[in-house]
């Protein structure tokens, strides 16, 4: 087992699956009690830069690890309005294998909005978390197995495991434009990251690599974007999400909820 101390960004795996953090819909007013299932929800997954995916301490010279399997994914989501104007949101990526990746991830958030002024502005305070398992050939995929200069050559495709274990707190300020159809938002917060990654690879000599990497980090985050309420229950959200000193990503999400 290895800790993240002394490892480069590519080896501690805080970068490869940062998209595993499940985002929730933003920009609408707090709902009253009741359940609102979303039938359509999709999120774009940005690619991770090669320098972040390349280890220099652990396995130097191996080259970038494999992380960009999917460019987008759909997921079911449900929103529950609670007494006191609290809102609970939960989402789930079911364990269906897509392009070599099998995920079973659950995301949640609990928040409450506070009206600011008389023009539709709102400050939302929320706690969120993402937990579960991602299985994928991160260290040795089919291309690596066929590469004579790779340490993966003629081995068995890896079935590596990643647990994101993300918890965070954030505040978001949103206001209304265009009669309430457009709601820009800005915000910031802190993420507490405790991911765990385990290699599962057998080389051509029958030796098993089950290296485990543990990371415990705290990172500040900034975000901004807007939600366009195109019709009743239909929203299109664009967001820029940045972690200073780590990465900036863009996200686009489409959601539809029953009235």
Eight-class DSSP state of 65: -
Q: Tens digit of pLDDT for each residue in 80-118?
A: 889 999 999 998 888 888 778 888 999 999 999 999 987
pLDDT at residue 174, rounded to an integer: 94
Listed in sequence order, the residues at least 6 apart from 139 whose beta carbon sits closer than 8 Å to its beta carbon are: 65, 66, 152, 158, 160, 199, 201, 209
- Please indicate whether residue 77 or residue 164 has the higher confidence score (pLDDT): 164
Give the CA dihedral 198, 193, 80, 233, nearest 10 degrees: -90
Sequence-distant (≥ 6) Cβ neighbours of residue 240 within 8 angstroms: 223, 224, 225, 248, 249, 250, 251
pLDDT in tens, 106-161: 999 999 999 998 778 999 999 999 999 999 998 888 888 998 988 889 999 999 99
For 66, counting Cβ atoms within 10 Å of its Cβ (0-12 exposed, 13-18 middle, 19+ buried), the class is: buried
Query: Residue 139, Cβ neighbours under 10 Å: how many?
Result: 24
What gap in Å lies between CA 228 and CA 248, rounded to an integer? 22
Which helix (DSSP H) or strand (DSSP E) does residue 247 occupy?
strand 247-257
| pLDDT digits 0-9 by tens, 187-200 | 999 999 999 999 99
Q: Which residues of 39-50 are buried (b: 16+ CB within 10 A; e: fewer)?
A: eebebebeebee
DSSP conformation class of 178:
G
Prediction pTM value: 0.74
Element (H, E) at 186: strand 182-193
Query: How far apart, in whole angstroms, are the C-alpha atoms of residue 176 and residue 120?
Result: 5
């Amino acid at each position: 087992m290895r800790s993240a101390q002394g490892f480069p960004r590519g080896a501690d795996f805080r970068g490869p699956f940062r998209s595993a953090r499940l985002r929730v819909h933003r920009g609408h007013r707090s709902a009253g009690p009741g359940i609102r299932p979303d039938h359509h929800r999709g999120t774009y997954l940005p690619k991770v830069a090669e320098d972040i995916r390349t280890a220099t301490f652990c396995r130097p010279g191996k080259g970038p690890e494999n992380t960009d399997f999917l460019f987008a994914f759909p997921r079911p989501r449900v929103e529950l309005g609670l007494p006191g104007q609290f809102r609970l949101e939960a989402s789930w990526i079911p364990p269906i294998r897509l392009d070599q990746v099998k995920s079973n991830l659950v995301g949640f958030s609990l928040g409450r909005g506070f009206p600011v002024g008389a023009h539709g502005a709102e400050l939302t305070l929320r706690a969120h978390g993402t937990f579960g398992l991602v299985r994928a050939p991160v260290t040795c995929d089919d291309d690596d197995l066929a590469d004579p200069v790779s340490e993966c050559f003629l081995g068995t495709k890896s079935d590596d495991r990643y647990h994101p274990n993300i918890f965070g707190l954030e505040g978001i300020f949103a206001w209304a434009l265009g009669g309430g159809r457009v709601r820009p938002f800005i915000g910031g917060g802190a993420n507490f990251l405790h991911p765990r990654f385990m290699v599962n690879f057998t080389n051509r000599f029958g030796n098993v690599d089950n290296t485990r990497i543990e990371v415990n980090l705290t990172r500040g985050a900034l975000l901004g974007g807007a939600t366009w309420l195109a019709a009743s229950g239909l929203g299109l959200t664009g967001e820029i999400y940045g972690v200073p000193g780590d990465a900036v990503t863009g996200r686009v999400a489409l959601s539809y909820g029953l009235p």
